[in-house]
């Protein structure tokens, strides 16, 4: 049974839509999941937890079941309005890489305004390209207004092209002078062997932080061998952030490590601060990061 079919079922007696959570256990690898929308229109409600069967937080006595999507062109998950999606102990790959290649993100989060806030939680998951030598033309996660928390997750072996990053964060306006707000926190996670070719910034994270948006990378995250192509306009081998506005923040702290990351400007990190935006870098290690121009 597909996730979409489950979410289309009639609620059981006593089920409170919008308050109760539906839990879906993935019992074996599956390649049947695609175009799953998590929002208030679903009959079973907007709070969905998808996990490997027998999942235990920080546990090792279970298998991470794989949701395989490399034959699809459209997003696996789209989280909108007050959608709340929690992914626990799962394995993911990428969308289609052969022509015509997928251009939509694997996971998309987007709000129409700053009142209804979609939410994504990723814990103990793995993301790994099914064809690490092939270029992918889509981001893994794209956020344009919403909240995302990622913990104890491993992302490795992606070769991205142009404007696509592992995590792309945008703050597009929805009315004149008002921008979508993002809150992202990443902790205890590892990003390794992430390469971006062509144009574009930040192989792992490329962030626009406007309207009080916050990006926190904390608690022993590791970025290993992350790079963008050595073009003079490219910034941030692992992370690029534009922080605009007095309440907008970019924080990297608490034993985060960057190793063997490289770029033309900002071998590991590039940050642009505008209109009193703030950046805090505290207790961070940079090892063997290289740059052709400004900042290692």
Question: What's the pLDDT tens digit per position in 67-96?
Answer: 999 999 999 999 999 999 999 999 999 999
According to the model, what pLDDT value does residue 291 have?
Answer: 83
Is 19 inside any structural domain?
no
The answer to whether the beta carbons of residues 145 and 109 sit under 8 Å apart is: yes
Whether residue 182 lies inside any domain: the answer is yes
The string of pLDDT tens digits covering residues 117-134 is 999 999 999 999 999 899
pLDDT at 38: 97
Number of domains the chain is built from: 1
Rounded Cα gap, residues 190 and 222, in angstroms: 5
- Residue 63 inside a domain? The answer is no
- 259 burial via Cβ count (<10 Å: 0-12, 13-18, 19+): middle
- Look at 232 and 189; give whichever has higher pLDDT: 189
140-144, 195-199, 223-227, range with the lowest pLDDT: 195-199
Could you tell me the two tokens for 142? 């794209």
Determine the 3-state secondary structure of 5 from DSSP: helix
Smallest Cα–Cα separation from 126: which of 101, 93, 149? Answer: 93
- 204 within domain boundaries: yes
The total of other beta-carbon atoms located within 10 Å of residue 98's CB is 10
211 part of a folded domain: yes
38 occurs within a structural domain: no
Residue 76 inside a domain? The answer is no
Q: Is the dihedral of CA 199, 259, 97, 206 positive or negative?
A: negative
Calpha distance 139→151 (Å, rounded): 19
Mean pLDDT rounded to a whole number for the chain: 94
Within a domain: residue 46? no
Tokens of 214: 């916050």
Quick one: pLDDT at residue 281? Answer: 95
SS3 (DSSP) at 40? coil
Host domain of residue 104? 81-294
Comparing CA positions, the residue from 215, 205, 202 lying closest to residue 250 is: 215
> Quick check: 226 and 189 in contact, CB under 8 A?
no
The three-state secondary structure class of 51 is strand
| CA-to-CA separations, 262 to 3, 125, 192, in angstroms, rounded | 40, 26, 13
> pTM, whole model, 2 decimals?
0.95
Residue 295 clears pLDDT 70, i.e. is over it: no
């Amino acid at each position: 049974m597909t996730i979409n079919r489950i979410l289309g079922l009639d609620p059981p007696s006593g089920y409170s839509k919008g308050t109760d959570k539906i839990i879906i256990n993935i019992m074996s690898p599956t390649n049947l999941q695609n175009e799953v929308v998590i929002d208030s229109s679903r009959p079973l409600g907007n709070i969905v937890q998808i996990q490997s069967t027998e999942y235990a937080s920080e546990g090792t006595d279970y298998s991470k079941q794989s949701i395989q999507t490399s034959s699809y062109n459209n997003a696996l998950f789209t989280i909108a309005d007050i959608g709340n999606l929690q992914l626990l102990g799962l394995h993911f790959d990428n969308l289609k890489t052969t022509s015509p290649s997928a251009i939509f993100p694997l996971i998309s989060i987007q709000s129409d305004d700053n009142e209804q806030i979609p939410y994504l939680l990723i814990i103990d998951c793995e993301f790994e390209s099914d064809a690490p030598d092939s270029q992918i033309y889509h981001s893994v996660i794209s956020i344009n207004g919403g909240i995302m928390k990622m913990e104890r997750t491993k992302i490795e072996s992606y070769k991205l092209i142009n404007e696509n990053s592992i995590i792309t964060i945008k703050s597009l306006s929805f009315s004149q002078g008002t921008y979508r707000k993002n809150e992202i926190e990443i902790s205890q996670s590892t990003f390794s062997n992430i390469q971006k070719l062509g144009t574009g910034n930040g192989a792992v994270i490329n962030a626009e932080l406007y309207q009080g948006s916050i990006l926190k990378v904390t608690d022993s995250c590791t970025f290993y061998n992350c790079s963008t192509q050595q073009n003079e306009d490219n910034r941030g081998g692992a992370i690029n952030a534009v922080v605009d506005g007095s309440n907008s923040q970019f924080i990297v702290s608490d034993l985060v490590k960057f190793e063997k990351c490289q770029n033309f400007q900002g071998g590991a990190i590039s940050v642009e601060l505008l209109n009193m935006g703030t950046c805090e870098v505290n207790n961070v290690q940079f090892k063997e990061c290289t740059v052709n121009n400004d900042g290692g």
